[in-house]
Each structure stands twice: as structure tokens, then as C-alpha cells.
């Protein structure tokens, strides 16, 4: 169940007969995202779909340029937005401005 983004990208590229260009943006993320699925296994949970199913589903969307690209779907852009919000909040706290609900 644990897949790296790179492994997923390579699977999509293979499915599309290498017509997909993989771009790496920003600095490599050194954090570990390994998670334990022990609790799910203890509950006898089984995945309904696998990586191949996901690749089969997403490949036509990639091929036909139907993937929506915006600040919410691109991780790096989303983090940049969050950093901007954090900076705005720090500014307002520093100068005693308050955001009212």
C-alpha cells in the first residue's frame, strides 16, 4: 500500500508508452512517509483497488491533458500558499492586527 510518488509516476509513464515526461520540482523531500497498516490488517481490511488500477484510471486523463493543475492539486504550490498565509498571520500578530470571524 505504500508507494512513492516516483514509483507512481514511473508506472504512469510505463502505461503511456513513455510519452509522459516526469519533472521533479523543488528540493527532494527527505521526510519518511512510511505508515503502518497493522490496524487495517487486524480489521481484515483489503484494498479494493491496486496501483495498476489507479494507473489505468489516471493514464487517459494524463494523456488527454485533463488533469487540473492549480494550487490545490500541486503539492509544491499548495505548500507555497500555506507559507504565504503563515507569513500574513505572523505580520498581523506582530503589529497587533486581528482577523475577526
- Confidence at residue 30, expressed as pLDDT on a 0 to 100 scale: 74
Higher pLDDT, 94 or 43: 43
pLDDT, tens digit, 9 for 90 and up, residues 36-89 = 888 888 999 888 888 889 888 887 887 788 888 888 778 888 888 899 988 888
- For the chain, the structural domain boundaries read 1-67, 70-101
Higher pLDDT, 101 or 28: 28
- Per-residue b or e along 70-98, where b marks 16 or more CB atoms closer than 10 Å to that residue's CB: eeeeeeeeeeeeeeeeeeeeeeeeeeeee
Amino acid at each position: 500500500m505504500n508507494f512513492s510518488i516516483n514509483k507512481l509516476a514511473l508506472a504512469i509513464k510505463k502505461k503511456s508508452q513513455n510519452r509522459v515526461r516526469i519533472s521533479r520540482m523543488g528540493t527532494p523531500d527527505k521526510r519518511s512517509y512510511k505508515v503502518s497498516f497493522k490496524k487495517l490488517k487486524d480489521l481484515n481490511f483489503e484494498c479494493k483497488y491496486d496501483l495498476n488500477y489507479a494507473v489505468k484510471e489516471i493514464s487517459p486523463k494524463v494523456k488527454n491533458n485533463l488533469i487540473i493543475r492549480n494550487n490545490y492539486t500541486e503539492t509544491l504550490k499548495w505548500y507555497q500558499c500555506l507559507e504565504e498565509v503563515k507569513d500574513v498571520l505572523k505580520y498581523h500578530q506582530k503589529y497587533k492586527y486581528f482577523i475577526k470571524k
